[in-house]
Chain A
Amino acid sequence: MKKIQLTGTDDTPGIILDAENGIFEISGRSMPEDVEMFFDPILQWLENYAENANEKIEFIFKMKYFNTASSKLMLDVFMILETIHENNNNVLIKWYYPENDEDMEEAGEEYSDIVEIPFEHISY
C-alpha cells in the first residue's frame, strides 16, 4: 500500500501511515477548516488496510491539541482500529500526552473507555 505522510501544520496534524515499515502515527494539532475532508483519505486508507492487516500494529497518538470536531473523526480512526483488533487481536494504541496536560491524559482514557483496544498511556 502507498504510504501517507503529511507534515503537521498549525491547524492540521502530522500523519504517517506506512504499512511497509509498520509506522502509524498521528501527532500535533488538529483543527482543520474542513475536518471531514482532511480525515477522509486517512479513514479510507485504514479501511483498505484493515482488509489485510495481519502483522502487529502499534498506533501512536501524540496530540498537542484537537478540537471537538476532530474528536469525532479521531473516534472513527479508533473504530477502524477496533475492527482490525477484533479480527486479529494485534493492535496496541500508544497514547502520548505532555506530562502536565491532564486534559490530554483524560482524553486518552476516554477513548480507551469507548473502544475495545489495548491502550498504553505514556507521559512525555
Chain B
Amino acid sequence: MKHDVKTVKGFLDYIYDLYKEMKNYEINIIYEGKITHQITKAFTALTEFNLEKQEESDKVKRRVFHVMVESLQNISKHASPSGEIREKEKGRGIFVVTRGNEFYTIITGNLTSNESTKELTDILEKVNSLNKEELKELYKKQIKNGSKLSDRGGAGLGFIDIARKTGNPINYNIIPMKDNINSFFILGVKINIQ
C-alpha cells in the first residue's frame, strides 16, 4: 500500500505497514547507518541476549555471533564509494538479522566503488567454489599472508571464515548505481538452526 509519507498521518500508516512487513519477513534487527565498533558491540550483545532467550544451541549461538562480527566489519572495511557521495556514505550500510524455522540469515548492504566490486566478486566466487578442506587450506594461507610480521595483506579472511563457519555458500548481489561509478553490494549469509 502506498501512503503519502509527507503527511504525519500517512507516515504513521506507513510505519504500521513496515512493522507488519518486518513481522512477515521475521526480521529481528534492522539498522541503517554508520557501522562503528560501539554499534557492532551493541548488536552482538543484543543478539546474544535474543539467542539465549530462543534457547539456541551453543553452536548456533557461536556461529551467529561470528558471522555478525565479520559481516559488520566488512561494512566498515568495504563501504567505500567514490565521488560526491563518498564522505556521507563511507562506513555506512544496512544490517538485517532474520530468524526463520530452518536458519538465521544475516544480511548487509553498502555502497562501494565499481573498482572494488570486481575484487569482491573474485573472492566470493573463489570462496563459494571451495570445499571444506580447501577453505581450511586457503584460511591458513591467508592468515599467514595477513600477519603483521609478513605484512602482505590477507584478502578475504572474513569471507573465508564465514563460509567455513556456516558451511553454506555466501549469497551476494551487486546493483549498479545511476552515477556509473558506484554499486550497492548486498551480502546474505545463512546459518542453519538444525
Show the binding face of A for B, using Cβ within 8 Å. Answer: 10-11, 31, 33, 36, 39, 43, 65, 67-69, 71-73, 75-76, 79, 100-101, 103, 110, 113-114
- Select which of B37, B140, B147, B157 is within 8 A of A113 by beta carbon: B140
**Docked-complex contact B41 and A67, CB < 8 angstroms:** no
Question: Given A10-B45, A110-B136, A110-B139, is A65 in contact with B62 using a C-beta cutoff of 8 Å?
Answer: yes
When C-beta atoms are compared, the residue in chain B nearest to A64 turns out to be B62
Task: Tell me which residues across on chain B come within 8 A of A114, comparing CB atoms.
Answer: 140, 143-144
Task: Tell me which residues across on chain A come within 8 A of B136, comparing CB atoms.
Answer: 110
17 more contacts with CB within 8 A, not counting A31-B69, A103-B165, are A10-B45, A11-B41, A31-B40, A33-B37, A39-B148, A67-B66, A68-B70, A68-B157, A68-B158, A71-B143, A71-B157, A72-B143, A72-B146, A79-B149, A101-B62, A103-B63, A114-B140
**Docked-complex contact B149 and A103, CB < 8 angstroms:** no
| CA distance in complex: A103, B140 (Å) | 14
| CA distance in complex: A100, B136 (Å) | 20
When C-beta atoms are compared, the residue in chain A nearest to B165 turns out to be A103
* B73 interfacial contact with A, CB 8 Å: yes
**Docked-complex contact A76 and B148, CB < 8 angstroms:** yes
A95 to chain B, nearest CB (A): 16
**Docked-complex contact B58 and A101, CB < 8 angstroms:** yes
Task: Tell me which residues across on chain B come within 8 A of A113, comparing CB atoms.
Answer: 140
What are 14 A-B contacts defined by CB distance under 8 Å?
Answer: A11-B41, A33-B37, A36-B148, A43-B148, A68-B157, A72-B146, A72-B148, A75-B144, A75-B147, A100-B59, A101-B62, A103-B165, A110-B139, A114-B144
| CA distance in complex: A73, B151 (Å) | 11
> How many A-B contacts at CB < 8 Å in the complex?
57
Task: Tell me which residues across on chain A come within 8 A of B40, comparing CB atoms.
Answer: 31
Task: Tell me which residues across on chain B come within 8 A of A76, comparing CB atoms.
Answer: 147-149
Overall SS of chain B's interface: helix
A58 to chain B, nearest CB (A): 23
* B154 interfacial contact with A, CB 8 Å: yes
When C-beta atoms are compared, the residue in chain B nearest to A43 turns out to be B148
A84 to chain B, nearest CB (A): 14
**Docked-complex contact B73 and A69, CB < 8 angstroms:** yes
When C-beta atoms are compared, the residue in chain A nearest to B63 turns out to be A103
Question: Given A33-B37, A75-B144, A76-B149, is A67 in contact with B73 using a C-beta cutoff of 8 Å?
Answer: yes
**Docked-complex contact A72 and B157, CB < 8 angstroms:** yes
